[in-house]
Structure 1
Amino acid sequence: MSAIKMKRVLTTPALIAFGLAYMVPLGIFTTYGEVTVTSNGHLPIAYIITLAMIFFTALSYCRMANKLPIAGSAYSYVQRTFGGKVGFLVGWAQILDYLFLPILNYLVLGIYLNEAFPAIPAPVFVLGSLIGVSLLNYLGIKLINSVNFTLIIIQMIFIGLFIFLTFTNVNLTPDAMMKPLLVNAGDFSGLLSGAAILCLAFLGFDAIATLAEESNDAQKSLPRAIIWTVLIAGCIFLIVSYCAHLAYPNWTDFAENKDTASLDVVRRVGDISRLGGEFMYNFFQAAYLTGVFASAMTAQTSVSRIFYAMGREGVLPKQIFYRIHPRFRTPYLSIIFVACFSLLSLVLSLTLVVSMISFGALVAFTFVNLCVIKSYLGEGQTKTFALIIKYGLLPAIGVLLSLWLWTSLDATAMVVGLIWLAIGFFYLIYLTKGFTKLLPSIDPHELNSIIKD
């Protein structure tokens, strides 16, 4: 139906900016207090553990992005590797993550901006943000790319200033510098619990894979961007968390005020410098909110591409989701659908939305790792010791770590996720007429054309 194709305009740096915008570099402050207390003041070490854990799954996304450089990310990989039915259910679960992240960002924007400007109701800010994000997505990926770079730079300026002020104003004694890095035997359980929470900060590197059909030389640029995004974000989180501990080493103070711990740290850095605590607080608020806006924008971009891929396959209505705007080359009806769904941000609570996000991501992580094993070591594939390590052991570790992260999900997340999967299962029964028919699928010639384009 859609002979018009999306524009291949995204280079590796643009994809990295997209991934970082999705992840929000300043997102480290969202869980700063909670994980600092959980890890007994060893937040930097917890980030190192998290980075090591996520890296295995990131490698699997690189393998599959190189093998299948098409829009849809985990949905497309599983659909081609394990068949349409499993692929559909994984894609359905993945939608839960991608659909509710924009809503989460709109709610955060509404709450923070309403606090700064109490005369204006929060729903006004929510609606304004939603319209702005949707318009930018409608007008094209190239415009989003430009906005992403701007919003990332604002966050990087704050991060750079935060690091500079810390190292130039804190008394850097050897004991103080080593304290957050020295772990006692009794701290390991807290570190692992903290690492499980921090994994959520890395959600977003996988969103890069949804832009395969808008990337230059996707088989090379996607894997590079995925790895660099994970490494850059990990380094930012590690350095900022280390500086925050140097600036405010008395982490036990946060036990009673975990949610506002990051604001206490930001003010402390301002107070020990000549800039002042209020300046740093206001700068942080502005930089953080621009980051949240960027995350909403990239999240809507990603989910609209997943819908586009599912519409092309025919498992969602083609006349709505498999449509490209003739001028802007964007899946405009998918974008409008996501915008309409995001109106739920006017009525849902922040707590409920947060609980919905992690379930779909962990389903996708688990199956992408399994895809690597089956794709590269399946029947008829060459199996040497080196290949078994590369395509067997490493993704198997990714599977085990993803399954372990399931233990960190709260009961609400599990219930909502399973209900969502049940709805998808019944829809699958409808699509297959009680499993008597095959799911519709993209023509192999069209698939080859997309990969070779």
Structure 2
Amino acid sequence: MSEANSGASLKRTLGPFSVLLFGLAFLAPLIVFGTYGVISQASGNTTALSYAIASIGVIVTALSYGRLVKVFPAAGSAYTYTRKMLSPNLGFMVGWAALLDYFFIPMLIWLLGASYLSMAFVDVPQWVWILGFIVFSTVLNVLGIQVANRFNILLMVIQLAIIAVFISLCWHYIVAANGPGGLLSAKPFFNQDVPFATTMAGAAIAAYSFLGFDALSTLSEETRDPSRTIPRAILLVALIGGVLYVGSSYFMYLAHPAMAFANVDGAAFEIARMIGGDLFFAVVLAGIIIAHFAAGLSFQASVGRLLYALGRDNQLPRKLFGVLHPRYRTPVFNILLSGAFGTVGFALTIATATSLVNFGAFVAFTAVNLCALRLTFDAGVKDGAGLLRGVILPIIGAITTGWMLVSLDKDALIMGGIWLGAGVVYLACRTSFFRSPVPDALA
């Protein structure tokens, strides 16, 4: 690797359409099919309502991100906002928590993609697929955001086409079985025998499908006119994701209302085979693998930018994390580190990785909503937000995302708490047990 140049800067090459596609790639819309069975089981078969609740929390949080990114168009996302609006110590801790999300999501996505490939090629060890995902994604991200962007366009078109065909086949199957009236039902949203707490537990898992919409803010320094483009893209991605996820789960329930599946992890594949035969089953499987590659590519780019922001601000060792490659103008060390971390997937289960991802994301989402609330009362910054957008919506967002945080399973809360404890120890060492200021960017 060539010597990095700390004087280089990220290159602004992304326009509105590219940013929107990156956001959708972060979401990997086909993931709704991969997680449908798990959420159905956790929510007591009220999957559509769980997705609707998660959508509300995410869309309100997207509005908070949109306000903050206009004021702070930097690559650090929730870390930067909390550091600026609340306190440097809290900013570091939110950034530390977000690392769970950003670090584990590429690994989790590569792990999931490898597991689906193993279904198709049973004789190939899973670690071979994981390694293949890591190497290919890392090379593309090192070469730069423009190279990764070209792949995203193609991969997103394929994903959206498969979703459209899936919903169309569900529609046709439902009408054939129950007539046109079968398309309208409240059952995917309401079951009087299912406690609301059970639906919330499903929403805490369903929110995983949205993770990534916030990562768009880490691309602020590579986007043209970021204060205008990024807020719009974040909100559009959250809205599009909500419509796709609620709609897909609604029609999947109507096509297959029973919660019994031969394999919960492969529930959507059973529905795909039921409505479209073996050929469509293969198409959905291929599409989900493509979706996971696209999402892994985008998330690895994002974790590289978050680490770069932490290094540039001297929160992490600047000589390693806060520099860019002189030719590619990408944080090469951070991208390579993310790729190397992906090999942890050889030893982790999907359930463990998902829990850690959700913990870090919900901490960041809650902090961002609190930052947006604080922004409303900041005399030095006037963003024109009134009572609804400046006070009520951030409070709703903080309550919803905080509720989903405490709705995670016990193991996730314990492991997340241990991670936060490690962050407190690291911060204490960097600040002489909080007697010195948090390390800041050097002049």
TM-score range, shorter chain: over 0.9
Which amino acid letter does the alignment assign opposite residue 236 of structure 1? L
In the alignment, is residue 78 of structure 1 matched against residue 82 of structure 2?
yes
Change (3 A) 1:400 1:287: same
Cα deviation digits, residues 226-268 of structure 1 (max 9, x gap): 01001111111122223323333x32434x6433321111011
Does residue 1:167 correspond to 2:171, yes or no? yes
User: What CA distance in whole angstroms lies between the structure 2 residues aligned with 1:218 and 1:33?
Assistant: 38
Q: Deviations over 1:371-423 (max 9, x none)?
A: 11112213667799x72332122101111112111232111111111111111
Aligned residues of 1:197 and 1:408 also touching (Cα < 8 A): no
Q: Return the alpha-carbon distance in structure 2 between the equivalents of residues 435 and 222 of structure 1.
A: 35
Moved more, 160-169 or 178-187: 178-187
Task: Decide which of 172, 187, 190 is 1:183's aligned counterpart.
Answer: 190
Question: In the alignment, does 2:56 pair up with 1:67?
Answer: no
Q: Which whole-Å CA distance do the structure 2 matches of 1:118 and 1:257 have between them?
A: 17
Q: Which residue pairs with 1:273 in the alignment? A: none
> 1:348: Cα distance to partner?
2.5
1:130-168, Cα deviation, whole Å (9 max, x unpaired)? 111100110000111111111111111211212233334
Hey, what's the Cα distance between the residues in 1 that align with 2:124 and 2:202? Answer: 37
The question of whether the paired residues in 2 share the 8 Å contact of 1:36 and 1:251 is answered with no
Partner in structure 1 of residue 274 of structure 2: 268
Which runs of structure 2 are paired with 1:340-351 in the superposition (5 Å)? 340-351=340-351
| Maintained 8 Å contact 2:360/2:416 | yes
1:120 correspondence with 2:124 = yes
What SS does structure 1 have at the residue aligned with 2:401?
helix
Distance 1:373 1:108 in 2: 36
Equivalences, count: 435
Find the counterpart in structure 2 of residue 332 from structure 1. Answer: 332
For 1:308, the equivalent position in structure 2 comes to 308
The CA deviation at 1:39 is 4.9
2:414 is aligned with 1:410: no
Identity of aligned residues (%): 36
Contact 2:73-2:220 within 8 A present in 1 as well:
yes
Offset of residue 91 of structure 1: 0.3
CA distance in structure 2 between the partners assigned to 1:237 and 1:127 by the alignment: 30
* Cα distance in 1 for residues equivalent to 2:373 and 2:247: 34
SS in 2 for 1:336: helix
- Cα pair 1:25 1:291 within 8 Å, conserved: yes
2:215 is the alignment partner of 1:207: yes
- Deviation of the 1:54 alpha carbon: 1.8
Q: 109-118 or 189-198: which moved more? A: 189-198
Q: Distance in 1 between matches of 2:339 and 2:202?
A: 34
Unaligned runs of 5+ in 1: 271-276, 447-453
Quick check: 2:188–2:254 contact (8 Å CA) kept in 1? no
User: 2:59 is matched by which residue type in structure 1?
Assistant: F
TM-score (norm 1): 0.90
> How far apart are residue 298 of structure 1 and its match?
1.1
Q: 1:429 to 1:223 in 2, by over 3 A?
A: same
The DSSP-based 3-state class of the residue aligned with 1:439 is coil
1:113 Cα deviation from its structure 2 partner: 1.8
Moved more, 119-128 or 169-178: 169-178
Per the alignment, residue 259 of structure 1 pairs with 265
Question: Matches of 1:233 and 1:291 in 2, distance apart?
Answer: 14
Following superposition of structure 1 onto structure 2, how do residues 81-160 of structure 1 map, counting pairs within 5 Å?
A: 81-160=85-164
Unaligned runs of 5+ in 2: none
Per-residue deviation at 1:344? 1.4
The alignment partner of 1:31 has SS state of helix
| 1:50–1:70 distance in 2 versus 1, CA, 3 Å | same
Residue equivalent to 1:366: 366
Residue identity in the other structure for 1:427: Y
Name 1:399's counterpart in structure 2: 398
For the structure 1 residues 188 and 346, does the alpha-carbon distance in structure 2 shift closer, same or farther, using more than 3 Å as the test? closer
Residue number in structure 2 paired with 1:317: 317
Equivalent in the alignment of 1:299: 299
Q: Which residue of 2 aligns with 1:237?
A: 245
Alpha-carbon distance between aligned partners in 1 of 2:271 and 2:71, rounded to the nearest angstrom: 45
Aligned amino acid, residue 210 of structure 1: T
Which amino acid letter does the alignment assign opposite residue 212 of structure 2? G
Counterpart amino acid of 1:319? K
**Residue 357 (1) aligns with residue 357 (2):** yes
In structure 2, the partner of 1:421 is: 420
Which residue does 1:34 correspond to in 2?
A: 38
Counterpart AA for 1:183: F
CA contact (8 A) 2:104 2:353 kept: yes
Deviates more, 1:277-286 or 1:50-59: 50-59
**Residues 381 and 221 of structure 1, relative CA distance in 2, 3 Å threshold:** closer
